[in-house]
Amino acid sequence: MPTAPREYFVNANRSAISQHDRALLGMPAAQDVSAERAALGDAPPTSLLGLSRLKDLVAVGEVRLKDESDRFGLGSFKALGGSYAVVMMLRTLISADLCRPVTVDDLIRDPVVRSAAASKTITCASAGNHGLSVVAGAKKFGAQSVVWLSNDVPDTFAVRLERLGAVVRRAGSDYRESEEAARSAARVHGWHLLADSSWAGYTRWPLEVMRGYTTLAVEAAAQWERSNVSRPSHVFVQAGVGGLAASVAAYLRDRWGEDFCFVVVEPVRAACLLASAKVGEPTRVEGGLTDLGRLDCPDPSLLAFEQLGHLADVFMTITDDDAAAAATFLKPEISLSACGAAGAAGLMVSASDPELAHATALDSSSRVLLIGTERAL
């Protein structure tokens, strides 16, 4: 299959963060998430790694990567989103059932609340990592889980999900078809859908997933600020439906302001956010298959595009080979999948293309923040 050409788009609709953005995913929302995580007693922060070889290769002043490759032992940043949203979902549902507020501590220790949780079934579609997070959260609080995988998701993910206690079902040839199956099953069986994307009429739980992701932005910002290096001039974040990128963009804009370049990196064959930015509204793409399975998303999340549509500076694409090359280059320092290294690939492509380097104002003084979103499979 021939490789589609790379492209980039400088966002014509760029504008400053609003109070609405801050309320959704800014510092106050992230503080609420941090309080819930403290009550759960979650694991310590992941590392912010200095990548000296990559810095020298792309000839910039600094490159640091937030390493999400072993978050909560689940292997990706998604561990932050689904599990947090499970907590918020169960608290809401059980509070309504019992006609009283339910706390995180109740979910862990109250037998009545635990019994109520056991009667709940949470379902989702997944390319692997979101499902692992949802299932881990459901298991912790005693709820049931059903995860829908398309036929192209590796069996390794299905096995991991089943070992965590999920019922795994297959439907369709791609993520979109498995998501339709999850939505249908939720309606038919009265299960509770916990998607990591959002659409008109369905935003409540995807927002909680996105809020869960702010944890890594909080940690990365604090870790960078404790160093002797000036704040980043550039942030490159890979995107599928855009939930992570939007969460990071909104939080960092609130904390660090407007004076850095935020770059969204997508596969050439699934650049739904770039296409949406061009026309100013969420847009489906039909670009064909990509090897970057966790980024192979034809439709953007509504909530994510509402943020990225004006908070991102540049949207760009990379090829599957670009991502694989970045993962290989980084391997001596960190073992990431091609999806996990896609942001680094975006930086490498930008540095090698004078036109794109100019569009992103990337030069020898640039200080770059990346996110390694998942470990090598």
| SS3 state of residue 219 | helix
Query: Which of 205, 235, 260 is the last residue before a domain boundary?
Result: 205
Arithmetic mean of pLDDT, 11-31: 97
Shared domain check, 14 and 29? yes
CA 297, 303, 307, 308: dihedral to nearest 10 degrees? 10
Q: What is the CATH number of the domain that holds 190?
A: 3.40.50.1100
Both 135 and 275 in a single domain?
A: no
For 187, the token pair is 């309606």
> Which pLDDT does position 154 carry in this prediction?
87
Q: Do 228 and 333 reside in the same domain of the chain?
A: yes
Q: Does any domain span residue 377? A: no
Co-location of 279 and 347 in the same domain:
yes
Query: What is the arrangement of strands in the sheet containing 167-170, beginning at the earlier edge strand?
Result: 167-170, 144-149, 121-125, 192-193
Same domain for 18 and 161: no
pLDDT band at 168 (very low <50, low <70, confident <90, very high): very high
Read off the tokens for 309. Answer: 């549509």
pLDDT for the residue numbered 173: 86
What is the β-pairing status of strands 192-193 and 167-170?
unpaired
Confirm whether 338 is domain-assigned.
yes
The number of domains in the chain is 2
In the prediction, which pLDDT does 345 show?
Answer: 98
Q: What percent of the chain is predicted at pLDDT more than 90? A: 88
pLDDT band at 2 (very low <50, low <70, confident <90, very high): very low
Query: Which of 205, 234, 261 marks a domain boundary?
Result: 205
What's the mean pLDDT when you consider all of the chain?
A: 95
Q: Does 317 map to a domain?
A: yes
For residues 116 and 262, membership in a common domain is answered with no
For the stretch 285-341, pLDDT in tens is 986 678 888 898 899 999 999 999 999 999 999 999 999 999 999 998 999 999 999
Instruction: Say which residues have a Cβ less than 8 Å from residue 115's Cβ, sequence separation at least 6.
Output: none
Q: From 178, 205, 232, give the residue that closes a domain.
A: 205
73 and 25 co-located in one domain: yes
Q: Using a pLDDT cut of 70, give the percent of the chain over it.
A: 98
Q: What pLDDT was estimated at residue 127?
A: 84
Q: Are residues 129 and 254 in the same domain?
A: no
pTM of the model: 0.96
Instruction: Confirm if 344 and 65 have CB atoms less than 8 A apart.
Output: yes
264: which strand partners?
A: 237, 315
C-beta of residue 201 within 8 angstroms of C-beta of residue 129: no
354 & 231 share domain: yes
Is residue 3 assigned to a domain? no
pLDDT-derived band at 247 (thresholds 50, 70, 90) equals very high
Average pLDDT over residues 95-106: 97
**Residue 110 counted as domain residue:** yes
pLDDT of residue 11 exceeding 80? yes
Same domain, 51 and 196: no
Strand spans (E) along the chain: 8-10, 48-50, 62-67, 121-125, 144-149, 167-170, 192-193, 234-238, 261-267, 314-318, 367-372
Q: What was the pLDDT predicted at 288?
A: 67
So what's the pLDDT on residue 34? 95
For helices 81-98 and 111-118, what crossing angle results, to 10°? 110
Contacts with 285 (C-beta within 8 Å, 6 or more apart), sequence order: 270, 271, 272, 275, 298
The predicted-structure confidence for 200-221, as pLDDT tens digits, reads as follows 999 999 999 999 999 999 999 9
Query: pLDDT tens digits for 111-128?
Result: 999 999 999 999 999 987
Segment 15-24 mean pLDDT: 97
DSSP per residue over 257-291, as a string?
-S-SEEEEEEETT--HHHHHHHHTS---------S
pLDDT-based confidence at residue 4 (cuts at 50, 70, 90): low
- pLDDT, position 362: 98
pLDDT at 1 (0 to 100): 36
Residue 225 has pLDDT above 60, yes or no: yes
Residue 347 token pair: 């930086």
Indicate the burial class of 324 (C-beta count within 10 angstroms; 0-12, 13-18, 19 or more).
middle
37 touches 85 (CB < 8 A): no
Structural domain boundaries enclosing 221: 8-77+210-372
In a domain, 1, yes or no: no
Ranking 85-94, 146-155, 307-316 by mean pLDDT, the lowest is 146-155
Query: Is the same domain home to 240 and 197?
Result: no
Q: How far apart are CA 215 and CA 194, in angstroms?
A: 19
pLDDT of 213 reads 98
Q: Are residues 195 and 335 in the same domain?
A: no
Residue 134 within a domain: yes
Tell me the pLDDT band of 3, cut-offs 50, 70 and 90: low
Let me know if residue 115 belongs to a domain: yes
